[in-house]
Amino acid sequence: MKMSLADLRKNYTKGGLFKKQLKINPLAQFKQWFEESVKSEILEPNAMTLATINGESKPVARIVLLKNVDERGFIFFTNYTSRKGQNLADNPWASLVFWWAELERQVRVEGKVEKISDIESDQYFNSRPIGSQLGAWASPQSQVIPNRDFLEHSLDEFTNKYENKVIPRPQNWGGYRVIPHLVEFWQGRQNRLHDRLCYSLKPNGQWQIDRLAP
């Protein structure tokens, strides 16, 4: 049977989104939606698309995992010398997108990116399983490598090096915080008349909420 992509469509009926229901702060609103997505048993609700800008002003996107939301922003962890790390060193602005299909919800975030403190990165690194800690040492993320064996050997080397020792955080591995100036909440509705409510940060530090056409 031939599949027609053009005929793949779904009507969204799960709910609506109204300004009066929203919290004043988008991070508080995000936390509420995130808790609802966890309760809905969505597979990896913290998976988010992270878009950065490369040195030729072209967008580059990939998925990373949200690991914390604090009062300032959205935190993820990675290799600082990876492609995304280089993009962010050159141009510290990023966009995030979450898609929670089971709830018919999307969240978009735009903001400035900063490295979190070494102490915060250490705390998270130390909480990771040993295999993940060793993986951070073994993988020169984003670099061309000759073959799979290279990684396996590298992992063996670091496993031997740190046997029965506390594994320190690699200096080139840690967290970033995306500090939002725009956060949009999208709820799918019938007939493509979806609800979009967008928070934007005004110069006086207040968040303005606007409804956008879908």
Instruction: Specify the residue, 17 or 109, whose C-beta has the smaller distance to ligand FMN.
Output: 109
Q: Residues with catalytic annotation?
A: 192
Q: Does 47 bind ligand FMN (CB under 6 A)?
A: yes
Smallest separation (angstroms) from ligand FMN to the CB of 87: 7
Smallest separation (angstroms) from ligand FMN to the CB of 127: 14
Segment contacting ligand FMN (CB under 6 A): 59-67, 156-164, 179-187, 205-213? 59-67
Q: How far apart are CA 57 and CA 54, in angstroms?
A: 5
Helix H or strand E segment including 65: strand 59-69
- State the distance between the two ends of the chain, measured CA to CA, in whole angstroms: 33
Angle at 32 between CA 31 and CA 33, to 5 degrees: 95
Q: Does 83 bind ligand FMN (CB under 6 A)?
A: yes
Residue 198, SS3 per DSSP:
strand
User: What are the CA-CA distances from residue 20 to residues 17, 58, 67, 200 (Å)?
Assistant: 9, 38, 29, 16
Instruction: Specify the residue, 83 or 196, whose C-beta has the smaller distance to ligand FMN.
Output: 83
Instruction: Report the amino acid identity of residue 10.
Output: K
Smallest separation (angstroms) from ligand FMN to the CB of 170: 12
* Torsion on CA atoms 12, 14, 15, 17, rounded to nearest 10: -70
Instruction: Tell me which residues in 134-193 interact with ligand FMN (CB under 6 A).
Output: 141-142
Segment contacting ligand FMN (CB under 6 A): 55-63, 102-110, 120-128, 176-184? 55-63
| Token pair for 167 | 């594994």
Residue 98, SS3 per DSSP:
strand
Q: Does 44 bind ligand FMN (CB under 6 A)?
A: yes
Smallest separation (angstroms) from ligand FMN to the CB of 207: 27
Q: How far apart are CA 178 and CA 75, in angstroms?
A: 6
Contacting residue, 37, 82, 121, 187, with ligand FMN by CB under 6 A: 82
Q: Does 63 bind ligand FMN (CB under 6 A)?
A: yes
Which positions touch ligand FMN (CB under 6 A)? 44, 47, 60, 62-65, 76-79, 82-84, 141-142
